[in-house]
């Protein structure tokens, strides 16, 4: 009080300024923040680098696995392509290989495949290669057996061809023998005519017949003969050709011919059907009339069967006299 009263006024104590401390704290906090940011950025960069490195390694590993897988596929395709028929028979193995291929392909096509996935893919590729190698060995074995079978088949084919050639030769020989035998039998079955007789006959008004030797009085020629027994020839109807040649050499024919074995086509006068009995002689009688009358001279009668001449005879007619 006294001081106040004496007129002296004491200044109050000045307040302390804390702004510097605040600024200093803020600066320190800012430095810490920037330091953390820089540290975090470096850490993040390091992690990114590590991740990038890891991704690069995984990508490289996947590429290697894919390359191994493609190599296995190329080997398998080559094996299957060259031995398709044989490989198709390995159905069970093909099914297992197809399963492995599907699983490996799933891994190598997965962009997010892990190192563990790729490691497992490598193991499956090794298994796949093992199965492919086993298949190759099996195919090689089957090819060896197939080559042996091919060689055997070729040998059998050669032997078959030889047998067929021998059979064909035998068949040809057999046919030749059979043909010769047939020809022999055919010739042997040809009949033979015997006891050939030729009569010139004159027919009376009463129908009676009288043998004559003159051309003027002859009305017809009667030709008789016998077909001898022949056991080789079959019994039954036989065709006998009669060829008459006039004294002037003219063949007495109506422009009809038959085929002979020795002289080709030959005119014939008449064809006679005979019921032949091969166990005994068969008699044959045939009358021939001349539309132009008879000439003097020799009439030649030829008898044919089976293309062969089996008999012949001659009948002479003379010129008639006053009482002939």
pLDDT score of 103 more than 50: yes
277: closest CA among 224, 228, 225? 228
**Alpha helices per DSSP H over the chain:** 2-5, 19-82, 84-87, 91-108, 115-188
Name the token pair of 194.
Answer: 């015997």
Give the tens place of pLDDT for each residue, 276-324: 999 999 999 999 998 888 999 999 999 999 999 999 999 999 987 555 4
pLDDT score of 2 more than 50: no
318 bridge partner residues: 214
Name the token pair of 201.
Answer: 């006959």
Q: What percent of the chain stands above pLDDT 90?
A: 40
Instruction: Summarize the confidence of residues 90-109 as an average pLDDT.
Output: 77
CATH numbers and ranges of domains, the chain: 24-143 (no CATH), 193-317 (2.60.40.2560)
CA-CA-CA-CA torsion for 157, 158, 160, 164, nearest 10 degrees? Answer: 130
Terminal C-alpha separation, the chain: 232
Rounded Cα distance between 212 and 320, Å, is 10
223 bridge partner residues: 198, 286
Rounded Cα distance between 147 and 139, Å, is 12
241: closest CA among 178, 305, 315? 305
Rounded Cα distance between 191 and 311, Å, is 10
Instruction: Summarize the confidence of residues 106-127 as an average pLDDT.
Output: 84
301: closest CA among 228, 154, 197, 214? 197
Name the token pair of 140.
Answer: 């090689």
Instruction: Summarize the confidence of residues 187-200 as an average pLDDT.
Output: 95
244: closest CA among 266, 216, 217? 266
The pLDDT of residue 5: 47
* Mean predicted lDDT score pLDDT of the chain: 83
The pLDDT of residue 45: 63
Instruction: Summarize the confidence of residues 232-246 as an average pLDDT.
Output: 95
**CB neighbour burial string for 60-89, b if at least 16 within 10 angstroms, e if fewer:** ebbeebbebbeebeebbeebbeebeebbee
Contact 202/209 with Cβ under 8 angstroms?
Answer: yes
CA-CA-CA-CA torsion for 77, 79, 80, 84, nearest 10 degrees? Answer: 150
Contact 132/71 with Cβ under 8 angstroms?
Answer: no
Q: 212: pLDDT confidence band, cut at 50, 70 and 90? A: very high
Contact 94/70 with Cβ under 8 angstroms?
Answer: no
**In terms of pLDDT, which residue wins out, 318 or 66?**
318
Give CA separation, 213 vs 31, 198, 220, in Å.
175, 11, 11
| DSSP, res 109 | T
Give the tens place of pLDDT for each residue, 154-171: 899 899 999 999 989 988
Rounded Cα distance between 206 and 281, Å, is 33
Instruction: Summarize the confidence of residues 47-70 as an average pLDDT.
Output: 70
Please state the pTM of the whole predicted model: 0.52
């Amino acid at each position: 009080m006294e001081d106040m009263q004496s007129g002296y006024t004491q200044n109050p104590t000045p307040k302390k300024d804390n702004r510097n401390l605040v600024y200093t704290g803020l600066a320190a906090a800012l430095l810490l923040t920037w330091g953390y940011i820089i540290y975090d950025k470096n850490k993040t960069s390091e992690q990114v680098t590590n991740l990038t490195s890891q991704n690069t390694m995984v990508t490289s590993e996947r590429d290697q696995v894919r390359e191994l897988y493609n190599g296995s596929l190329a080997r398998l395709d080559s094996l299957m392509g060259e031995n398709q028929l044989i490989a198709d028979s390995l159905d069970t193995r093909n099914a297992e290989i197809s399963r492995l291929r599907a699983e490996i392909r799933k891994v190598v096509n997965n962009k997010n495949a892990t190192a563990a996935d790729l490691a497992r893919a490598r193991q499956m590729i090794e298994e796949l290669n093992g199965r492919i190698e086993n298949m190759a060995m099996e195919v090689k074995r089957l090819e060896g057996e197939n080559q042996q079978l091919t060689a055997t088949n070729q040998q059998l084919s050669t032997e078959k061809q030889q047998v067929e050639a021998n059979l064909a030769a035998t068949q040809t020989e057999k046919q030749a023998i059979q043909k010769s035998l047939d020809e022999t039998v055919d010739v042997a079955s040809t009949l033979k005519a015997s006891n050939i007789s030729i009569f010139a006959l004159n027919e009376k008004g009463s129908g009676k017949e009288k043998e004559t030797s003159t051309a003027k009085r002859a009305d017809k020629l009667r030709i008789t003969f016998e077909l001898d027994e022949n056991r080789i020839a079959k019994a039954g109807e036989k065709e006998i050709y009669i060829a008459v040649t006039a004294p002037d050499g003219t063949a007495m024919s109506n422009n009809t011919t038959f085929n002979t074995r020795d002289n080709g086509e030959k005119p014939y006068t008449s064809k006679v059907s005979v019921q032949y009995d091969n166990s005994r002689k068969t008699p044959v009688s045939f009358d021939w009339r001349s539309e132009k009358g008879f000439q003097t001279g020799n009439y030649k009668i030829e008898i044919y069967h089976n293309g062969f001449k089996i008999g012949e005879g001659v009948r002479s007619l003379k010129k008639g006299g006053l009482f002939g």
